[in-house]
Amino acid sequence: MNDMARVERRVGTKNAKITARDVQVHYGDTHAIKDVNVEIGDKTVTAFIGPSGCGKSTFLRCLNRMNDTIDACRVRGDILLDGEDIYDKRVDPVQLRAKVGMVFQKPNPFPKSIYDNVAYGPRIHGLARNKPELDEIVEKSLRRAAIWNEVKDRLDAPGTGLSGGQQQRLCIARAVATEPEVLLMDEPCSALDPIATAQVEELIDELRQRYSVVIVTHSMQQAARVSQKTAFFHLGNLVEFGETGQIFTNPQDPRTESYITGRIG
Amino acid sequence: MPTLWLVVSVLVLAAIGYVLGRKRALQSANGNIRELHSLPIYYGLNVAFAALLPALGVLILWLLAQPMIIDSTVSGMVPHEAIPEETTLGLVMSDVRRVASGLDAAVEQGVMTLAESHSLRAEAADIRARLGEVGVALGAEVKAEVLQAAQSYRRMTATGTHAMTLVVALLAVTGLAIAYARTHKDFRARNVVERGILVLLILAASLAILTTIGIVFSMLFETMNFFGLHSWKDFFFGGIWAPNFRGDSELSILPLLWGTLFISFIALLVAVPVGLFAAIYLAEYANNATRSFAKPLLEILAGIPTIVYGLFALLTIGPMLVDFFGKGGLLGVEWMAGATSVLTAGMVMGIMLIPFVSSLSDDIINAVPQAMRDGSLGLGATKSETVRQVVMPAALPGIVGAVLLAASRAIGETMIVVMGAGAIAKFSLNPLESMTTITTRIVSQLTGDTDFASPETLVAFALGLTLFVLTLGLNILALYIVRKYREQYE
Amino acid sequence: MSDISQNGAPKRTGSLLSKDARTAKRNRAESRFKLYGILAIAVGLLMLVTLVYNIVSRGTGAFTQTFVTLEVTLSEDKLDKKGNRNLDEIKKVSTFGYAPLIKDAIGKEVEKLGIQTDLPAKKQAAILSKSAAAQLRDYVIANPDKIGDTVEFRFLTNSRVDGYMKDRVSRDSIANDKSISPAQLDFVDQLVAEGVIVKSFNLDFIFGADASDQRPEAAGIGVSMIGSLFMMLVVLVLALPIGVAASIYLEEFAPKNWITDVIEVNISNLAAVPSIVYGILGLAVFINYMHLPMSAPLVGGLVLTLMTLPTIIISTRASLKAVPPSIRDAALGVGASKMQSVFHHVLPLAAPGILTGTIIGLAQALGETAPLLLIGMVGFIASNAPDSVAGGLLSPNSAMPAQIYEWAKRADPAFYERAWGGIIILLIFLVTMNTVAVILRRRFERRW
């Protein structure tokens, strides 16, 4: 089992989906991200770990330009998606976000029916030509998010009526429905109970078949369980980046070691 | 003003009580404050309150009750035959009161002696002329029955006032004496005083209820009088509003209600889209600088008194519309006769309501959690798609509530329609015609010479009550919806 | 990208750098939507600007007035035939008796300046306000010893001449006007050229009394300002303590039960009751039942008190709520009673907020008109300033907004200028009050 995982890891690193070079982020006067260089592989789960306030979520939100919605935030450096700079003036963030989907810390289903929640993305992006096609996309997405069996009989019920874990999987289905290439997850399990967390983690592992997944987590165990690559952030710096197994068993940087052994956090 | 002097004496008594109470408490503790249960100030306050509160409470109740009791007793004394046709008991009673106050004034100004005023006989003395001397004008010669009633009215008022003075003074002195006697170093003065203050606070809070009761009852009684004189069927279901002071008025609320709703509808047609889009822009698009500049400026519109809007309607918007739609206007049509019209009032009222709608909607849109927007933007939706398909559906109940509140404001608005809408009651779909509303008719029926015995005046109370019920219903519904909405996101 | 399609996953092939047609369309919709928002704000601001421009451009005229300076000989044979300076006899000469003096004065002025005019003397004098004779009479009664002397007076011109000086009246517009003729306007031009007629600042508009509907030029807002002042006094004295007491009870002491709930719902509904309903209440309760005098500022003040109370209660409760519970705990912790903790600690801390709310409530009450119509504060001429506090409270008066309404109703368009001018004064008061409230809030706002 362990060996197999390692093999897969090596396959995953071959082609970089996202490349970040010398990324700097400023929030007003605060220098939130300093000189981050990282390559995120395709069909890989990459985990960002680090103490809270280390900039891991900020960096994640740079990858689909969600930081654009915050006035005081400025991003410098290059972030390339399939070799194209996503901060290029010609890039429409709307088009970008269709390719780079996002799942948030707190489950945030829209106050609509379960069906409409999932169909929202395909509708705005015009992915379905007619109702049967849309039905198909919704079903496929709900299946991929491993929630189909639980909700198939009540697609018209409001999404807000589901339990926390179901809501988060619904949000994942919603993100998957737009057929993104990269899926960003910002502490997707922090608001969930252990059982729901296990379900979502299992789901993340399956999603790796199709997408490049980047997950921010404050739980080292979770990073170890779901990711192939891990990046450790500390005070806005990317301290260490490498194979998950390496990071956890043989950290190079003393700060990484301190964090993993629980001395800082 | 003997009542004023009574109040002043009670206040003086209370002040004396304060000093005495404080002194006695200190004496009982041999000047050692530490021996006292409470601070000396509380012993003083205790005595002062005991002198003040019961006395003033009884005074207020007495002042409220006395006219009612005397009125009903005296009106029972007026014989049926003394009420001429085409008038009512109410009119005779107002004559009685006027004669009584005229006689009092005459005595006060030294035109009559007190004894003379009591022994007056209607046949013997020319009362109308003599009261005219002291500035009390009477419509007709005073009848014997009226004079008799007026005399007993005066007698009872005098007796009542004397009794009141006596009772109030007695209460104040007794209160002071009892409290003074109880003052002792072990007496829990603070607790008693605080309980007294609490009672005062409760009274202040119940004034809100009292106001509502006052509103409802003041209108309810006169409305019942109105329905005694005029058929309620005509009021609610008739189709014509044509008051005239010969008696055969047709007083139906329906044409007025139509005018009110039509004008309110146009006002909302202006205010809701503008206010809502302004709120959306301010909440979702504007940066801080724009927001802190545009929001207060828009809210100035809400702080401008309605009289200003009324003048604006009458002298600016109305003539401007006539320039377009009137005779010889820019459009070459002759659709508008005068400056007052449904459109004039509606547009101006709409302008007034813009900030009302926008600031309420702004609050409501801001209450939609940011996570909701992030979710949508994260899927690649544009801002407008997010607003239209996620934020608006989420905020809809709150916005409906805001629109209902605005509608209730529009229905109850007075000055703009008084000055801008006109005075013709009719059912018409043409917004360029002059129409009238419930509030304008209330104003016109209750200003000038009002005769509280005629249906033409009393109808105003029925209109007022309907207006009150209508706006109250809208408000309660709107507040309920908004509250439910807020709870959802808290 | 070939590996992606192999796995059956998304086949989104377009480059990020080029926009697809759908995105372009969506972006256009986005811009349109944003434009609607900007338009909405622009419409709102445009209305504000229009309103302010209207008020200023049409109202500033009221602050200047056209005056004629004339030397009037107070001839003894007209005013005091017996020559014994008996005030009672002088008073018997009515304003009609003074008219010839003015006519003579203007005739003399014309002669002195050598103005050529065919206008008969009576028409010459008609360019003056009807108040001129009264002004003369008041002066003579106040200074009987001046009879026989020649004194310089500054008279108001009538409103048509004033309008002519302010470009409101033209020779075309008076074609059907009986009170003035083009010949008189020519005469006015001649006097203006000689500097006898001048336009200058009119203090009487701000401090003077209202005038009958024949003399718009003499109307002022001063007396109704006093009426408003007395009403505000009543509102302040009653609404502030009652409002604060009610809020303290509801916020600090009231148990959570249905009675408190009813009171709370009640208060928020009272705040939204149309103001005219308060007018009906005032008419029915204060005037019809309690027999308080009609048109008295006391009654107006009582009505406005009831109307303002909910506003004050709501803002006071908000400021009490903003005081953190730790303050109350601290006071209770050293053994203060609940009442002491509220009155010694919470209330002083909430005071700036309460004051701000009260000022805003007062400003609202100051501009309110509708209820005042029903208790008779319009429809008469507020001509005498009250002489005492009791008189100020009980004798009939008007209020600023009611006075403005009264002017707007009158037929002569010269009164419209007065109405707009009155609005300027009213708005100056409101702006001042609101600015004070904002400053108070900024200065004393505390973040816990």
Chains that touch C (3 or more CB pairs under 8 A): A, B
Q: Please give the structure tokens belonging to residue C356.
A: 């701000």
**What is residue C313's predicted lDDT score, i.e. its pLDDT?**
93
Tell me: do B351 and B288 sit in the same domain: yes
pLDDT tens for B293-341 read 998 899 889 889 999 999 999 999 999 998 888 877 777 777 888 888 9
Residue C58 inside a domain? The answer is: no
**CATH number for position C286:** 1.10.3720.10
**What is residue A175's predicted lDDT score, i.e. its pLDDT?**
92
Helices B392-412, B455-488: axis angle to 10 degrees equals 160
- Whether residue A128 lies within 8 A of chain C, CB to CB, comes out as no
- Is beta strand A182-186 parallel, antiparallel or unpaired with respect to A100-103? parallel
Residues of C in contact with B480 (CB under 8 A): none
Tell me: do C384 and C319 sit in the same domain: yes
**Contact criterion met (CB below 8 Å) for A229 and A241:** yes
Can you tell me the distance from the alpha carbon of B95 to that of B452, in angstroms, rounded to the nearest whole number? 13
Residue B214 inside a domain? The answer is: no
CA torsion through residues B20, B26, B27, B29, sign: positive
**What is residue C277's predicted lDDT score, i.e. its pLDDT?**
93
- Whether residue B405 lies within 8 A of chain C, CB to CB, comes out as yes
Q: Please give the structure tokens belonging to residue B149.
A: 């009633």
Percentage of the residues of chain B whose pLDDT score is greater than 90? 32
* Closest A-chain CA to C9: A210
- Whether residue B232 lies within 8 A of chain C, CB to CB, comes out as no
Residue to substitute from C57, C276, C337, interface B, most B β-carbons within 10 A? C276
Domain count for chain B: 2
**Amino acid at position A147, single letter:** I
Tell me: do C231 and C311 sit in the same domain: yes
Residue B118 inside a domain? The answer is: yes
Can you tell me the distance from the alpha carbon of C341 to that of C428, in angstroms, rounded to the nearest whole number? 40
Please tell me whether residue C415 adopts helix, strand or coil conformation: helix
Tell me: do B274 and B150 sit in the same domain: no
Can you tell me the distance from the alpha carbon of B374 to that of C233, in angstroms, rounded to the nearest whole number? 52
Last residue of a domain, one of C135, C166, C200: C200
Are C37 and B285 within 8 A, CB to CB? Answer: yes
Are C47 and B278 within 8 A, CB to CB? Answer: no
Residue B210 inside a domain? The answer is: no
Helices C222-248, B189-229: axis angle to 10 degrees equals 120
Tell me: do C313 and C440 sit in the same domain: yes
B288 min Cα distance to partner chain A (Å) = 9
Tell me: do C86 and C143 sit in the same domain: yes
Residue to substitute from B379, B383, B396, B488, interface A, most A β-carbons within 10 A? B379
**CATH number for position B421:** 1.10.3720.10
Averaged pLDDT of chain B? 85
**Contact criterion met (CB below 8 Å) for B358 and B279:** yes
Last residue of a domain, one of B155, B170, B187: B187
Interface of A with C in 76-105 (CB under 8 A): 81-82, 84, 86, 88, 90-92, 94-96, 98-99
Tell me: do C285 and C149 sit in the same domain: no
pLDDT at B81 over 80: no
Q: Please give the structure tokens belonging to residue B481.
A: 């919806």
Residue to substitute from B194, B209, B415, B479, interface C, most C β-carbons within 10 A? B415
* Closest B-chain CA to A121: B379
pTM, to two decimals: 0.85
Q: Which of A99, A101, A110 lies closest to B372 in CB terms?
A: A110
Rg (CA), chain A: 18
Tell me: do B252 and B183 sit in the same domain: no
pLDDT tens for B98-139 read 777 777 777 777 777 777 777 776 555 667 777 766 666 666
C88 min Cα distance to partner chain B (Å) = 22
- Is beta strand B241-242 parallel, antiparallel or unpaired with respect to B250-251? antiparallel
**Contact criterion met (CB below 8 Å) for B336 and B326:** yes
Are A124 and C19 within 8 A, CB to CB? Answer: no
Residue B479 inside a domain? The answer is: yes
Chains that touch B (3 or more CB pairs under 8 A): A, C
Q: What number of other Cβ atoms are within 10 A of residue C207's Cβ? A: 14
Residue C205 inside a domain? The answer is: no
Range of the domain at C142: 66-200
Tell me: do C247 and C363 sit in the same domain: yes
Q: Is A103 exposed, middle or buried (0-12, 13-18, 19+ CB in 10 A)?
A: buried
Q: Domain extents for chain A?
A: 2-260
Helices C297-322, C275-282: axis angle to 10 degrees equals 130
**What is residue A1's predicted lDDT score, i.e. its pLDDT?**
37
Tell me: do C328 and C402 sit in the same domain: yes
**What is residue B90's predicted lDDT score, i.e. its pLDDT?**
64
pLDDT tens for B379-399 read 989 999 999 999 998 898 889
Residue C60 inside a domain? The answer is: no
Chains that touch A (3 or more CB pairs under 8 A): B, C
Q: Please give the structure tokens belonging to residue A157.
A: 């019920």
Instruction: Name the residue with tokens 């429409």.
Output: A92
- Taking CA atoms, C445 is separated from C313, C322, C351, C432, in Å, by 19, 11, 10, 19
Residues of A in contact with B376 (CB under 8 A): 110, 120
Range of the domain at B15: 2-187
Interface of B with C in 268-297 (CB under 8 A): 273-278, 280-282, 284-285, 294, 297
* Closest C-chain CA to B194: C339
Tell me: do C415 and C273 sit in the same domain: yes
Are A91 and C22 within 8 A, CB to CB? Answer: no
**Contact criterion met (CB below 8 Å) for C416 and C408:** yes
* Closest B-chain CA to C433: B303
Residues of A in contact with C4 (CB under 8 A): 181
Tell me: do C181 and C325 sit in the same domain: no
- Whether residue B88 lies within 8 A of chain C, CB to CB, comes out as no
Residue C93 inside a domain? The answer is: yes
DSSP per residue over A137-149, as a string?
HHHHHHHHTT-HH
Q: Which of A90, A98, A211 lies closest to C17 in CB terms?
A: A90
Q: What number of other Cβ atoms are within 10 A of residue C204's Cβ? A: 17
Are C242 and B207 within 8 A, CB to CB? Answer: yes
C22 min Cα distance to partner chain A (Å) = 8
Q: Please give the structure tokens belonging to residue B393.
A: 């559906």
- Whether residue B67 lies within 8 A of chain C, CB to CB, comes out as yes
B229 min Cα distance to partner chain C (Å) = 18
- Whether residue C258 lies within 8 A of chain B, CB to CB, comes out as no
Tell me: do B176 and B297 sit in the same domain: no
**What is residue B136's predicted lDDT score, i.e. its pLDDT?**
65
**Contact criterion met (CB below 8 Å) for B253 and B438:** yes
Are C37 and B278 within 8 A, CB to CB? Answer: yes
Determine the topology of domain A2-260 in CATH: Rossmann fold (3.40.50)
Residues of B in contact with A69 (CB under 8 A): 373-374, 377
Q: Is B152 exposed, middle or buried (0-12, 13-18, 19+ CB in 10 A)?
A: middle
**What is residue C379's predicted lDDT score, i.e. its pLDDT?**
66
Can you tell me the distance from the alpha carbon of B108 to that of B123, in angstroms, rounded to the nearest whole number? 23
Tell me: do B167 and B273 sit in the same domain: no
Domain count for chain C: 2
- The per-residue pLDDT string of chain C (448 residues; one tens digit each, 9 = 90 and over) reads 333 333 333 445 567 777 788 888 999 999 999 999 999 999 999 999 999 999 999 998 889 888 988 888 888 777 777 777 777 777 878 888 888 888 888 888 888 888 888 888 888 888 888 888 888 888 888 888 888 888 888 888 888 888 888 888 888 888 777 778 888 888 888 888 888 888 888 888 888 888 877 788 888 898 899 999 999 999 999 999 999 999 999 999 988 888 888 888 888 888 889 999 999 999 888 888 777 888 889 999 999 999 999 999 999 999 999 999 999 999 999 888 899 999 999 999 999 889 999 999 999 999 999 999 998 887 667 677 777 777 778 888 889 999 999 999 888 888 999 999 999 999 999 999 999 988 888 888 776 6
Residue among C423, C406, C374, C355 nearest C275 (CA) = C374
The ipTM of this complex is 0.89
Are C263 and B278 within 8 A, CB to CB? Answer: no
pLDDT tens for B142-192 read 777 778 888 888 888 888 888 889 999 999 999 989 988 888 888 888 888
DSSP per residue over C216-272, as a string?
GGG--SHHHHHHHHHHHHHHHHHHHHHHHHHHHIIIII--SSHHHHHHHHHHHHHTT
Can you tell me the distance from the alpha carbon of C115 to that of C112, in angstroms, rounded to the nearest whole number? 8
Can you tell me the distance from the alpha carbon of C370 to that of B307, in angstroms, rounded to the nearest whole number? 9
**Contact criterion met (CB below 8 Å) for C354 and C447:** no
B276 min Cα distance to partner chain A (Å) = 20
Residues of A in contact with B390 (CB under 8 A): 110, 120
Residue among C292, C302, C295 nearest B101 (CA) = C292
Can you tell me the distance from the alpha carbon of B178 to that of B182, in angstroms, rounded to the nearest whole number? 6
Residue B223 inside a domain? The answer is: no
Residue B236 inside a domain? The answer is: no
**C360, containing H or E segment:** helix C347-367
**Amino acid at position A213, single letter:** V
Tell me: do B93 and B24 sit in the same domain: yes
Are B379 and A174 within 8 A, CB to CB? Answer: yes
Please tell me whether residue C10 adopts helix, strand or coil conformation: coil
- Taking CA atoms, C18 is separated from A85, A92, A122, C10, in Å, by 12, 9, 20, 18
Angle formed at CA B92 by CA B86 and CA B98, multiple of 5 degrees: 140
Binning chain C into helix, strand and coil, the percentages to the nearest 5 are 65, 5, 25
Residue B228 inside a domain? The answer is: no
**C442, containing H or E segment:** helix C414-444
Q: What number of other Cβ atoms are within 10 A of residue C324's Cβ? A: 13
Tell me: do B20 and B144 sit in the same domain: yes
Last residue of a domain, one of B143, B165, B187: B187
DSSP per residue over C278-291, as a string?
HHHHHIIIIIIIS-
Tell me: do C173 and C261 sit in the same domain: no
Can you tell me the distance from the alpha carbon of B79 to that of B69, in angstroms, rounded to the nearest whole number? 18
Can you tell me the distance from the alpha carbon of B275 to that of B268, in angstroms, rounded to the nearest whole number? 10
Residue B213 inside a domain? The answer is: no
Please tell me whether residue B164 adopts helix, strand or coil conformation: helix
Residue to substitute from C51, C261, C412, interface B, most B β-carbons within 10 A? C51
The per-residue b/e assignment along C218-235, b for 16 or more CB within 10 angstroms, e otherwise, is bbbbbbbbbbbbbbbbbb
pLDDT mean over A196-208 = 88
pLDDT at A9 over 60: no
A249 min Cα distance to partner chain B (Å) = 35
Residues of B in contact with A112 (CB under 8 A): 393
Can you tell me the distance from the alpha carbon of C161 to that of C127, in angstroms, rounded to the nearest whole number? 7
Tell me: do B180 and B250 sit in the same domain: no
